């Protein structure tokens, strides 16, 4: 269980996050929404320890993130972020195996177990055919899936995803979310997903957090949070809300 307790983060003297609190229970998928610059990525980065928290604490299984070593943190929390271009030839399998680093030793050759997990993760993400291909041969969307696979290979308790469906085609967008949900159900892990797609969030998230200017504007179940007032306030758009006939979840339509 992840407990973010009234954290503030400052960057260059500017307060980027103020007094943000959030609890994520095991098995939960939380969607993190907000306009650009609202502090979503900073919240993710604070959670995995790459950004320093000024006040407040983040607790995980009774310990603060601060008190854990880098390795321990990375074992519990895996990140899916925008992918960097590699200048070195790296195969998809090698890339995904990086996710097993935290489970290995210093000279660290991969164990059979590591390989099995990597292969199975590739299978889950529909990437088995790409196993031995080089990363720079793949399209942007395909690479994003590999990035997800790598995070899944960690077998962490918490998955943090920063716009994981940015360059992905429609078919695979749904696949990514389904994968995350399936993983969270199977392993009882949780996920925090930053996305701009309100409807995907409505479909897959158990809880939605709306961030505005570094503060939590609203949090709760999708139907509670996705209201016209909230969306007008946070995104400055007019929306029409109804129910998705196929799933029964709230559906957001922007009025242009």
What minimum distance in Å lies between the beta carbon of 110 and another protein?
A: 9
Radius of gyration of the chain from its Cα atoms, rounded to whole angstroms? 18
**Pick from 25, 63, 66, 70: which binds another protein (CB under 8 A)?**
70
101 lines the binding site for another protein (CB under 8 A) = yes
The three-state secondary structure class of 64 is strand
User: Could you give phi then psi for residue 36, rounded to 5 degrees?
Assistant: -60, 135
148 lines the binding site for another protein (CB under 8 A) = no
Q: Give the number of residues in contact with another protein, rule: CB under 8 A.
A: 31
**Pick from 1, 90, 174, 237: which binds another protein (CB under 8 A)?**
90
37 lines the binding site for another protein (CB under 8 A) = no
What minimum distance in Å lies between the beta carbon of 81 and another protein?
A: 7
Of the two residues 147 and 216, which places its CB atom closer to another protein in the complex? Answer: 147
**Pick from 41, 42, 48, 173: which binds another protein (CB under 8 A)?**
48
Residues near 115 by Cβ (< 8 Å), separated by ≥ 6? 97
145 lines the binding site for another protein (CB under 8 A) = no
Q: How far is CA 180 from CA 30, 33, 165, 189, in A?
A: 11, 17, 12, 9
What minimum distance in Å lies between the beta carbon of 69 and another protein?
A: 8
Are the CB atoms for 56 and 10 separated by under 8 Å?
no
Q: How far is CA 182 from CA 88, 107, 123, 146, 232, in A?
A: 33, 33, 14, 17, 32
Using alpha carbons, select from 32, 52, 21, 50 the residue that is nearest to residue 163: 32
- Which positions lie near another protein, rule CB under 8 A? 12, 48, 50, 69-71, 73-75, 78-79, 81, 84, 86-90, 94-95, 98-99, 101-102, 104, 106-109, 150, 154
């Amino acid at each position: 269980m992840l407990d973010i307790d009234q954290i503030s983060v400052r960057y260059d003297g500017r307060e980027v996050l103020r007094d943000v609190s959030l609890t994520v229970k095991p098995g939960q998928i939380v969607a993190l929404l907000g306009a650009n610059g609202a502090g979503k990525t900073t919240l993710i980065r604070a959670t995995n320890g790459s950004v320093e928290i000024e006040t407040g604490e983040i607790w995980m299984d009774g310990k603060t993130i601060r008190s854990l070593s880098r390795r321990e943190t990375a074992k519990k929390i895996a990140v899916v972020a925008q992918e960097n271009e590699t200048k070195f030839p790296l195969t998809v399998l090698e890339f995904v195996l990086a996710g097993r680093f935290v489970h290995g030793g210093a000279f660290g050759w991969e164990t059979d177990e590591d390989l099995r997990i990597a292969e199975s993760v590739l299978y889950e993400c529909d990437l088995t055919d790409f196993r031995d291909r080089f990363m720079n041969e793949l399209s942007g969307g395909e690479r994003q899936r590999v990035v997800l696979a790598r995070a899944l290979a960690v077998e962490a308790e918490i998955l943090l995803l920063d716009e994981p469906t940015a360059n992905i085609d429609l078919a695979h967008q749904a696949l990514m979310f389904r994968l995350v949900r399936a993983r969270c159900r199977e392993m009882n892990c949780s996920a925090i997903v930053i996305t701009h797609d309100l409807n995907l969030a409505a479909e897959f998230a158990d809880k939605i957090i709306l961030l505005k200017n570094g503060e939590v504007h609203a949090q709760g179940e999708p139907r509670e949070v996705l209201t016209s007032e909230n969306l007008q306030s946070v995104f400055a758009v007019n929306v029409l809300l109804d129910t998705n006939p196929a799933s029964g979840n709230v559906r957001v339509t922007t009025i242009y």
